[in-house]
Chain A
Amino acid sequence: MTTENPGLVESNLFNRDVIHEIQRAAREGIYGIRGWGSKRYLPHFDDLVFLGASMSRYPLEGYRERCDTDVVIGDRYATKPLHLKIPITIAGMSFGALSAQAKEALGRGATAAGTSTTTGDGGMTPEERESSTLLVYQVLPSRYGMNPDDLRKADAIEVVLGQGAKPGGGGLLLGMKMNERVADMRDLPAAIDQRSACRHPDWTGPDDLEIKIRELRELTDWEKPVYIKIGASRTYYDTALAVKAGADVIVLDGMQGGTGATQTVFIEHVGIPTLPALRQAVEALTELDMHRKVQLIVSGGIRSGADVAKALAMGADAVSIGTAALIALGDNSPEFDEEYRKLGSRAGYYDDYQAGSDPAGISTQDAVLASRLDPVVGGRRLANYLRTITMETQIIARACGKSHVLNLEPEDLCALSVEAAAMAGVPLAGTSWIPGKSES
């Protein structure tokens, strides 16, 4: 690569970012830790397009004709499944990683839009329970704050096996964010660098998990849907095993998925992207005749209605968002650019969720910073964003002639690159070729 200065050639292998990281490691003696998700190029939903109705398909009128968006989640075994107005949920993000105000704002936004939000690695706060009509309670390896009262207060239970940003890894919450309230909820000393477990303490393997899920159901009298969340890696098998273990719902998080704090090397090099993972999960469900019976919620890089529509067309029942929800609340807002710069970042680049000094007051436990986010205002912004991307999803669904967004299908899609065609299992645009599946 040549810079604006002819003759100065930047190494592709040792580019400025790589050199900077080597210098940083030599200076600091510790691996990089950050929030956000993978930042490098990965095949994604951008590499797919919709075919749209034409001679052989009938479109629906964009503004008038009915195109439903509601979805029922968790009716395989649970007697009280969740009825969501939109197929977009808020992903689990811990109180600890996020401020109590941010958690409340997520609950308010989700509730206003008619969808669910999720607790995280740190237990349930009263604020988020109160502000969320539908709240999913995570059962994580750490079991921080786990108690039967909160379990009963929840609307659904999500057993977390992994996250797309770090399949095989546990949580991290650095000392700066371990204030008294967070530490107390986790039964840990304040100010330590808290590393949560990566393995569940009381079960190992899918056969045990089946028994664990039975216990969770017995504990809650079989009312609540039980989700299993997996980070995308061996997705085909993990999906099949999650079905076998008795999940009502599978939450699949691709490697683009955001995180509160993880080693950079982990974020960028472990796991597979959302696109191939989603295809594999749908294949496994279809083979077991469980597609649409065990719902599939997909996350990892969902930003727009186009992403939602593509995920649904590939076979997801709903999507889940983390990073985009934080941005909607005010994360990376230009309003704070000056302060981001003081921290060595900029609006649009900020990913130091681990540091606890978030100028937007979202990924922090500092009382002064956290008070910058008004949960009511944040909730309204999130609701606006959720409604916008829902309308975008409907626009695409109507253009493809669908009266429900869940009627979108792989048939409506084609891929712009050979890689995306192979990973998503849809034909390369202008051909009938699906690499790995068809000959021509």
Chain B
Amino acid sequence: MEQVFDLATIPLRELNQALHDCLPDASKSVWRIINPKGEHAVACGVDTPADIEIRGHVGYYCAGMNKQAHVIIHGNAGTGVAENMMSGTVRVKGNASQSAGATGHGGLLVIEGNVAARCGISLKGLNIVVCGSVGHMSGFMAQKGTLIVCGDAGYALGDSIYEADIFLKGKVDELGADCMEKNMTEEHLTFLATLLETAEVTDDPASFRRYGSARSLYNFEIDDADAHT
């Protein structure tokens, strides 16, 4: 049965507590949240198999640290949507502000609109699909996981990136330090195609380019000192 929470009348604390009271191994629950009106930390820390639909715009850290739940935001999302998410899916129908999916460890984050700066910063295994464009310093220090951008990327894309992959369809203002274009193997194409399909995005995998770490900053080399200054 669907539970409806109207944040115009029910405090956020009550909603989050009710979500947290659902155990990780509970059977699937269905939630609809209306009138979020930019509230922060909506449905953060969920760890239960739930379908959560949010009708309206949310503030910072919506679905933060999500585990298992499938969250759909019918609106725009503020800073740090799905930050440090572990599993499940989060879909933003509108645009997202900066640091979307920051430090995410697992699961899938889809943003149908554009994303501001630092999308996928310090990524640790999450897969992110952005249908629009991303702002500057996206994929900064990204360690693991994937950032797919169907639009363009701002400057310093993938700065100081580790082992994460960035797939970009449009153009990039400028690559960040130690980020380089890499070849796209069959394996990458298949992976990309699967991810796009899971995200229900129809862009052609062959139209993307792949970026990753040049690995020149991994260990300090005296003769490479200029790269560090």
Contact = CB atoms under 8 A, between A and B. Distances in A.
B121 interface: yes
A147 B13 contact: no
Nearest to B143: A187
B84 interface: yes
B163 A189 contact: yes
B210 to A, nearest CB: 18
A29 B222 contact: yes
Interface in A173-227: 175, 186-189, 191-193, 197, 201-203, 208, 211-212, 214-215, 218-222
A188 B144 CA distance: 8
B47 interface: yes
B103 interface: yes
Residue among B79, B86, B124, B222 with the most chain A CB within 10 A?
B124
B13 A201 contact: no
Interface residues of A, number: 31
Contacts of B144: 187
A10 B225 CA distance: 33
Contact of B61 (A30, A147, A192, A215): A215
B166 interface: no
Contact of A151 (B65, B80, B102, B124): B65
Contacts of A29: 222, 225
A289 interface: no
A147 B218 contact: no
Contact of B47 (A30, A148, A188, A189): A148
B44 interface: yes
B132 interface: no
A146 B44 contact: no
A147 B219 contact: no
A439 interface: no
Contact of B64 (A142, A191, A215): A215
Given A143-B103, A146-B103, A221-B17, A187 B125 contact: yes
B220 A193 contact: yes
Residue among A28, A175, A192, A219 with the most chain B CB within 10 A?
A219
Contacts of B83: 201-202
Contacts of B64: 215, 219
Contact of B141 (A197, A214, A220): A197
B16 interface: yes
B162 A188 contact: yes
A143 B84 contact: yes
B105 A187 contact: yes
Given A215-B40, A218-B13, A218-B16, A201 B45 contact: no
B162 A143 contact: no
B114 interface: no
A33 to B, nearest CB: 10
A219 B220 contact: no
B124 A143 contact: yes
Contacts of A189: 162-163, 218
A148 B103 contact: no
A198 to B, nearest CB: 11
Contact of A212 (B17, B61, B121, B162): B61
Contacts of B91: none
Residue among A28, A142, A187, A214 with the most chain B CB within 10 A?
A187
Residue among A142, A151, A193, A201 with the most chain B CB within 10 A?
A201
A30 B222 contact: yes
A148 B65 CA distance: 6
A202 B102 contact: yes
A201 B103 contact: yes
Interface in A115-153: 142-143, 146-148, 151
Contacts of B103: 143, 146, 201-202
B118 interface: yes
Given A201-B103, A201-B121, A201-B122, A147 B65 contact: yes
Contacts of B193: none
Contacts of A222: 13
B41 interface: yes
Nearest to B40: A211
B94 to A, nearest CB: 19
Interface in B45-70: 45, 47, 59-61, 64-65, 67
A30 B67 CA distance: 43
Nearest to B223: A29
A192 B219 contact: yes
Contacts of B74: none
Contacts of A220: 45
A189 B213 CA distance: 12
A348 to B, nearest CB: 29
Nearest to A142: B122
A187 B99 contact: no
A28 B222 contact: yes
Given A189-B163, A201-B83, A212-B80, 13 more contacts: A143-B122, A148-B67, A188-B143, A192-B162, A193-B220, A201-B118, A203-B99, A214-B40, A215-B44, A215-B80, A219-B64, A219-B65, A221-B20
30 contacts: A29-B225, A30-B225, A143-B84, A143-B103, A147-B65, A147-B105, A151-B65, A191-B219, A192-B162, A193-B220, A197-B122, A201-B140, A202-B79, A202-B99, A202-B103, A203-B99, A211-B40, A212-B61, A212-B80, A214-B41, A215-B41, A215-B44, A215-B60, A218-B13, A218-B44, A219-B64, A219-B65, A220-B45, A221-B17, A221-B20
Which 5 residue pairs are nearest across A and B when measured between Cβ atoms?
A219-B45, A202-B80, A29-B222, A148-B65, A143-B103
